Chains A and B, each alone.
Chain A
Amino acid sequence: MWQRRFDLPLGADGTTRFVPWLIAVMVYLAALALAAGMATADAASRWNAGLAGTATVEIAPASDRATTDERVGDALAILRATPGVIAATPISEAEVAELLAPWVTTGELPSELTLPRLIDVRFDPGTAVDLRTLGAKLSALIPGARLDDHGTWLQRLRALGTSVQIAAALVVALIAGASAATVIFATSAGLAIHREVIELMHWIGARDAYVARQFQSHAMSLALRGGVAGVLMGAATLAGFRALMGPSQGSLLPDVGLGPATWAALAILPLAAAGIATLTAKATVLRALRRLP
């Protein structure tokens, strides 16, 4: 595939001068789209793993603390007696206060604020639990009790994650198409400029594949150069995002850091760009040469 010398002076004409730059920009955009898609997939996976198989029972505070404690005890009893529940753990008031702390500017909750009591429930993944019936039972037997199975939240998160991933895939596909169009344009221009030389090669016995290889090698070289530059720019941008988000991003925001999977995906981009450019140049040249006798 890689030829030591070019019979066609493809590097000497100006038609391909901007191709590496265009490919660099496209690979840069593809890198950002890919990283966004991967980060969203990763976050969705973490949210899913964290919330799937769990539920929270919320018990509204009663008029006095003893009654509230009694209702929490009743709820725990019902939950622990339910087949498929592997753990039901009350969340202490201190932990609830800690969860709310980021939303309180002073960092401390007012003493007069009564907080609901929460019970963290975990289910056996292998056992089907009818959460609707369980929730109805809790609400019927314990005043102010409500079961939140996170389903609505998870469903929306999954929908959002899937949408972002589909959008990222579409962006990458569009960029691949635009890259191919760029190569088609540059190759067609090269075919027109070097028509006489190509005809000569054809007449002295060059097979179409021989001529096409010259364009393929050139296109691959241009795309590789542009692709590497685009990926480096993309990596720098992602590293900048990472630095801006800081270490306190928590588990809610997607992690756009350069993990091994992201690095691997970025490393593939220049190769993919080179592959697209090579195949596109080949197809363009072979199609044009078929018109020669």
Chain B
Amino acid sequence: MNQTAQTEVVRLDGVAMRYATGPEVLRNIDFRLDAGSYHFLSGPSGAGKTSLLRLMYLAHRASSGTVRVFGHDIASSPRRSLPGLRRRIGVVFQDFRLLDHLSVRDNVALPLRIAGVDEPVIQSHVAELLNWVGLGNQLESKPTTLSDGEKQRVAIARAVIGRPSLLIADEPTARVDETQGVRILRLFEELNRIGTTVVVATHDQHLVDRFHHRVLRLEDGRITLERDGRAPALTREAGRVATPL
């Protein structure tokens, strides 16, 4: 693996994707995520943001093109190697995907248990992380007793407990108020500062504009715009004249 591959966390070249025999939901996708970057993936509902994230967290295969994650070409990687790659990716799902029969503690501990980490280490990390997201007093609560904001924070704790290199969040602010939403994105910035590559999918343009990070805009299954986050200037446009966001 060369130096470029090591700094590229995700790279998609000419990628298309479809569900079963349906129409293509993503077409001609080309982009790369460098290590330590923070990207917003914006676009209207139905643009294909969740599908693109599914490709990145290896929940789906591309129907054509090349998907490389941590330098591995996913199409040619043996299936047995994928769990190891997935453990380097933390995912915050749009609908939280918490396990209602498990306590908050066990939900957050799940990735470490799956990875075979020793129980004392798990317990120590879980307590530390739940304190970080402000749920240190809810260890034994069941997800069904929590508010959406609290569920979101449990989901974030579960996503980051394995210290992932790549954190993917699908509409993490969709089910919380703006204050909570900003707080969640600030948490992601903290993780980004310690080297975690972050991708946040959102259709909330207002929130995107509040944070100066790179933006990939997706419309109708294509990336139409890529903006450098350091300034509201366009760095690349696909297929049409750029307009400032």
Knowing A7-B102, A7-B113, A9-B101 are in contact, say whether A203-B86 is a contact too (CB < 8 A).
yes
Q: Which of A7, A196, A202, A204 lies at the interface centre, i.e. has the most chain B CB atoms within 10 A of its CB? A: A204
A204 vs B99: C-alpha distance when bound (angstroms): 13
Determine if B61 and A210 form an interchain contact, defined as CB atoms under 8 angstroms apart. Answer: no
Asked if A205 lies at the interface with its beta carbon under 8 angstroms from chain B, I say: yes
Asked if A293 lies at the interface with its beta carbon under 8 angstroms from chain B, I say: yes
- Chain A residues contacting B97 (CB-CB under 8 Å) are 196, 200
Min CB–CB distance B27 → chain A (angstroms): 20
Binary flags per residue of A193-211, CB closer than 8 Å to B gives 1, else 0: 0001101111111110010
Binary flags per residue of A203-224, CB closer than 8 Å to B gives 1, else 0: 1111100100000000000000
- Chain B residues contacting A204 (CB-CB under 8 Å) are 86-87, 91, 110-111, 114, 158, 162
Determine if A203 and B114 form an interchain contact, defined as CB atoms under 8 angstroms apart. Answer: no
Determine if A205 and B115 form an interchain contact, defined as CB atoms under 8 angstroms apart. Answer: yes
| Interface size class of chain A, counting residues whose CB lies under 8 Å from the partner chain | 10 to 19
Determine if B91 and A203 form an interchain contact, defined as CB atoms under 8 angstroms apart. Answer: yes
Min CB–CB distance A73 → chain B (angstroms): 86
- Chain A residues contacting B83 (CB-CB under 8 Å) are 205-207
Asked if A1 lies at the interface with its beta carbon under 8 angstroms from chain B, I say: no
How many B residues touch A, CB cutoff 8 Å? 26
A287 vs B101: C-alpha distance when bound (angstroms): 26
Asked if B58 lies at the interface with its beta carbon under 8 angstroms from chain A, I say: yes
Determine if A293 and B91 form an interchain contact, defined as CB atoms under 8 angstroms apart. Answer: no
Asked if A12 lies at the interface with its beta carbon under 8 angstroms from chain B, I say: yes
Determine if A205 and B113 form an interchain contact, defined as CB atoms under 8 angstroms apart. Answer: no
Knowing A196-B97, A197-B99 are in contact, say whether A203-B110 is a contact too (CB < 8 A).
no
Report the nearest A residue to B58, measured CB to CB.
A293
Report the nearest B residue to A200, measured CB to CB.
B97
A206 vs B101: C-alpha distance when bound (angstroms): 18
Asked if B188 lies at the interface with its beta carbon under 8 angstroms from chain A, I say: no
Min CB–CB distance A231 → chain B (angstroms): 33
- Chain A residues contacting B193 (CB-CB under 8 Å) are none
Asked if B238 lies at the interface with its beta carbon under 8 angstroms from chain A, I say: no
A194 vs B176: C-alpha distance when bound (angstroms): 27
Interface residues of chain A, those whose CB is within 8 Å of chain B, are: 5, 7, 9, 12, 196-197, 199-207, 210, 290, 293
Further pairs besides A7-B114, A204-B110: 4, Cβ < 8 Å: A7-B99, A7-B102, A201-B114, A203-B91
Q: Nearest 10 CB-CB pairs, A to B? A: A205-B87, A205-B86, A9-B101, A206-B114, A205-B83, A207-B83, A204-B111, A293-B61, A200-B97, A203-B59
